[in-house]
Amino acid sequence: MYADPTTLDSNRPLLFVDREGIGGGSNVPAAVQARTGARVLRQIKTFDISQDGQICPGKCNTHRSFDSHDDSTTFTAPLVTRKFCVEDLYPRILYTFRDVLCFVSEQSNTIETTLEKLIKWAHKVVESSVNQSTLPRVIIIKNGLEDDARGWLDEESATKKMLEHTQQLRTLDKDMLEIVEYWKNAGKKPTSLADLPNFYFSNVRAVYIPSKGNTPDDVLYKQYQQLRRRVELESEAVAERKRLEWKRQTFIN
């Protein structure tokens, strides 16, 4: 988590959280490795290591030969992978307690692919987020377009282009078909891929950040400023919605 220094002393400081992508990976986070190592060292004080490398409770038979076999249990510390954190733990925390989510659409990915990943990410926790009065807002950050990049520089045009790419329900994989069926059973009638994010987010916007190498510095700076302002606007909108909801709940009670 990172605090924005320009708003840190305000009544609404911005806090940024790195969610480490959508898919994660198999590497164990460094913090988990450190905690696991410390736990192993604490627990290994009550164990002994035999000549054949086995870790035994209490004292091992130190007279065993190196090629002997036994049924003693080898100590194995459970590890939490980054993949588990990113795919299962982070969504439950960030979807529930955040105002704005930013998802990066890499140059090699289409908008449709990014939206599908985003929907699957949010769907993991939507059933457990019952009675959530304020849905998060999302910003799709499009990176590194090589063709027609100028048409994406304006935020309104970028959002319009994104929606144009998702007006039809294309061939979906098994997980996406199950998500569509879930919402149909809930009384919703999604007719395009563009409909699905509206079930998870109160607003979806797109901002284009061009590649640094082929972009003038002033254009790149302008796009980053555009993204910054969009984050601020969406955050303010969520805060206002929460304020009104809190006021309504207080009035009802």
Question: Quick one: pLDDT at residue 235?
Answer: 92
CA-closest candidate to residue 19, choices 83, 110, 79: 83
Contact 49, 60 (CB under 8 A): yes
Contact 149, 157 (CB under 8 A): no
- Taking the chain (253 residues) in runs of 10, the rounded mean pLDDT of each run is 88 83 56 57 52 53 44 48 74 82 76 86 75 82 74 89 75 88 91 88 92 84 94 92 81 67
CA–CA separation, 29 and 50 (whole Å): 31
Give the 3-state secondary structure of the chain: CEECCCCCCCCCCCEECCCCCCCCCCCCCHHHHHHHHHHHHHHHCCEEECCCCCEEECCCCCCCCCCCCCCCCCCCCCCCCHHHHHHHHHHHHHHHHCCEEEEEECCCCCHHHHHHHHHHHHHHHHCCCCCCCCCCEEEEEEECCCCCCHHHCCHHHHHHHHHHCCCCCCCCCHHHHHHHHHHHHCCCCCCCHHHHHHHCCCEEEEEEECCCCCCCHHHHHHHHHHHHHHHHHHHHHHHHHHHHHHHHHHHHC
CA-closest candidate to residue 145, choices 108, 97, 197: 108
Question: Quick one: pLDDT at residue 230?
Answer: 95
Question: Quick one: pLDDT at residue 92?
Answer: 78
Question: Quick one: pLDDT at residue 207?
Answer: 94
The residue ranges of every structural domain in the chain are 18-84, 98-252
CA–CA separation, 209 and 219 (whole Å): 9
Report how far Cα 79 is from the mean position of its chain's Cα atoms: 20
Residue that the structure tokens 């480490």 belong to: 20
Question: Quick one: pLDDT at residue 65?
Answer: 39
Residue that the structure tokens 């007279």 belong to: 63
Q: Which amino acid is at 180?
A: V
Question: Quick one: pLDDT at residue 244?
Answer: 85
Contact 99, 240 (CB under 8 A): no
